[in-house]
Amino acid sequence: MKTAGAGEAASKIGLLLLAISLTAALLCPGIAHPEDSWLKEFEAVCSQTDDAMDMTKDQLDQLVERCNRLKPDIEKQDEITKKVYLKRLDSCRSLYEFILETKYKQ
């Protein structure tokens, strides 16, 4: 009897915590901000420029493709964010493409 009561209380607390976290997710745009996903992808893609020389053609191809897919998302941003991040994206995409071309010609 005592254990059943404790279990019920635990499930109530669990439900309460779930409700709180869902409300927080809806109210606070800083947490799991859907618009920031492009920025995370940008950082993931362009953080590999220093390793690019050691990558295979396939890996480089994939990175170029990821850059291409990311471009339309950056184009949706405000004017200055778009200007800065498109230039940054272009410099890392161009590097991947340059190394890829180098590898094909070698």
Where does this chain bind other proteins (CB under 8 A)?
43, 46-54, 80-81, 83-85, 87-88, 91-92, 94-95, 97-99, 101-102, 105-106
By beta-carbon proximity to other proteins, the closer residue of 25 and 44 is 44
| Minimum distance of other proteins from residue 104's CB (angstroms) | 8
CA–CA distance from 99 to each of 44, 91, 105 (Å)? 18, 12, 10
- Please give the single-letter amino acid code of residue 101: E
Residue closest to 74 by CA, chosen among 46, 103, 105, 101: 46
Q: How far is the CB of 13 from other proteins (least distance, A)?
A: 37
- Give the nearest distance from C-beta 46 to other proteins in angstroms: 6
Helical pair 57-75 and 79-105, crossing angle rounded to 10 deg: 160
